[in-house]
Amino acid sequence: MMNTEEYSALPAVEPDAIFRYGEDENQFVDLYVPQGEGLHPVVVLVHGGCWRAMYGAKPLGGICRALNTVGIAVWNVEYRRDGNGGGYPQTLLDVARAADLLEKAAVEYPLDLARVISMGHSAGGQLALWLAGRRRLSPNSPIYSADPLPVHGVVCLAGVIDLVNAVAQGLCGETLPQVMGGLPADVPDHYRDASPMALLPLGVRQIHVVGDADTGILANVQPYIEAAEAAGDNVRLTIVPEAGHFEIVVAGTAAWQAVQSAVLALFE
CATH number of the domain enclosing 119: 3.40.50.1820
Please state the φ and ψ torsions of residue 216, each to the nearest 5 degrees: -65, -40
The pLDDT tens digits of the residues spanning 185-234 come to 999 999 999 999 999 999 999 999 999 999 999 999 999 999 999 999 99
> Please, which pLDDT band fits residue 136 given cuts at 50, 70 and 90?
very high
- Which residues, other chains included, contact 193 with Cβ-Cβ below 8 Å and sequence gap of 6+? 92, 137, 138, 141, 142, 143
Q: Looking at residue 101, what is its pLDDT?
A: 98
Domain total for the chain? Answer: 1
Residues of the domain holding 51: 4-266
The pLDDT tens digits of the residues spanning 22-55 come to 999 999 999 999 998 899 999 999 999 999 999 9
When the pLDDT of each residue in the chain is averaged and rounded to a whole number, the result is: 97
CA–CA dist 101, 79 (Å, integer): 13
